[in-house]
Amino acid sequence: MKGKMKFGLNIPTQLVFGAGELRNLSTLPLPGKKALIVISAGTSMKRLGYLDRLVEQLGKAGVESVVFDKILPNPIKSHVMEGTALCLAEKCDFVIGLGGGSSIDSAKAIAITAHMGGDFWDYVHGGTGGGKKVTGALPIVAIPTTAGTGTEIDLWGVVTNEETQEKMGFGSRHIFPTLAIVDPELMLSIPPALTAYQGFDAFFHAAEGYVGKAHTPISDLYALEAVRLLYKYLPVAVADGNNLWARTKVAWASTLAGMVESTSSCTGEHAMEHALSALHPELPHGAGLIALSGAYFKTFKNDSMKRYMKMAEKMTQHKAARPGDFLDALAIMKRECKVDNLKLSDWGVTMAEVDALADKTIATGSAMLDLDPRFLTRNEIADIFVETIRED
């Protein structure tokens, strides 16, 4: 209704952005004296020297640290609880997430349970979660080494309960990181396929937040700039991972998309992908989103026509004639990033799972489904899965 514009903005994270900025960590105000550093179970943080660089900077600042290095690409609740136990045993007073979204999301979850006590699933809303209110958390420092989730500057995280096969988002104003350092130098080593998967995750944070019901004038600004930057620079970063300028632009777009998540929200596409990777945790989140995107966004092309056209214009820098121009631009972007022929069957997804996927989407993703441009029926959700899997 005209004259009824209302929205809010509260992103309390101190953001430090720029190539080489991790080397300046010791000069920044830190929220404690002993940090739990949360990293993945892989070797890259140690092999590339990022962990040593962080520990050195903490030492210069007079901060002790302990490392928890078990996080999986799709983080799980049992590791959150194990990290919490280490945090408490070592009397850490803040948590640092170093790595991809999985490490930072896990740091956020550990920060909650280390402060609140109990089981992490007590604080998850939806599915089998306990739905308890989070009233505080340990301070968090986020240092992303990938450009995709934007979790360094939002109040959300995602963790899988491996016992119930539920991949659930969680959120609280208390898990906005106190400090985020986005250093594109840390992203130079990401291989092409992962660069694409992560970049498209950021793209869909922006696109979903722009077309969904939760959009605001502030989130629109962030979202349109993010899709413009990613359309232009993600293919460059995929083709030449050592191009620091392209990496910087993609990193900034990812952070902008995280700001979209703080001022708008993801929608049903993310709910559907969470169902996919809950059943197939080896499926990269971004790959699942890419596979779903054609069928998902086609479903709403007549429900959000002006917004589809506006995204197309930002992406191509040409006047759009129809909402399908966005779908065409998206297809071009996927092709240029060499992810236009993804096969979910490569990660074990089959047509026999369609009903289970549709049911799990509804059971665990209702909050995001409610924000789609219009409400999807169960049959429509199943049809999107069918079309996606048939593309194999």
Going residue by residue through the chain (392 aa), what tens digit of pLDDT does each one get? 455 688 889 999 999 999 999 999 999 999 999 999 999 999 999 999 999 999 999 999 999 999 999 999 999 999 999 999 999 999 999 999 999 999 999 999 999 999 999 999 999 999 999 999 999 999 999 999 999 999 999 999 999 999 999 999 999 999 999 999 999 999 999 999 999 999 999 999 999 999 999 999 999 999 999 999 999 999 999 999 999 999 999 999 999 999 999 999 999 999 999 999 999 999 999 999 999 999 999 999 999 999 999 999 999 999 999 999 999 999 999 999 999 999 999 999 999 999 999 999 999 999 999 999 999 999 999 999 999 998 77
CA distances in angstroms from 369 to 156, 266, 378, 380, listed in the order given: 16, 9, 11, 12
255: CB partners within 8 A, 6+ apart:
15, 17, 150, 152, 153, 180, 182
Query: Residue 184: what pLDDT?
Result: 98
**DSSP symbols for 306-375:** HHHHHHHHHHHSS--SSTHHHHHHHHHHHHHTT-TT--GGGGT--GGGHHHHHHHHHHHHHHHHTTSSSP
Query: Residue 125: what pLDDT?
Result: 95
Query: Residue 1: what pLDDT?
Result: 41
Whether the CB-CB separation of 116 and 227 falls below 8 Å is answered with no
Q: What is the DSSP letter of 32?
A: -
**Residue 17, SS3?**
strand
Q: What is the DSSP letter of 134?
A: P
Query: Residue 6: what pLDDT?
Result: 83
What are the structure tokens assigned to 301, written together?
Answer: 């092309």
With CA atoms as reference, report the closest residue to 177 among 241, 108, 121, 87: 108
Query: Residue 390: what pLDDT?
Result: 87
Query: Residue 392: what pLDDT?
Result: 74
- From CA 44, how far away is CA 189, in angstroms rounded? 9
Query: Residue 2: what pLDDT?
Result: 56
- How would you label 99-114 residue by residue, b for 16+ Cβ within 10 Å and e otherwise? bbbbbbbbbbbbbbbb
- From CA 129, how far away is CA 109, in angstroms rounded? 14
With CA atoms as reference, report the closest residue to 81 among 117, 132, 32: 117
- From CA 355, how far away is CA 130, in angstroms rounded? 26
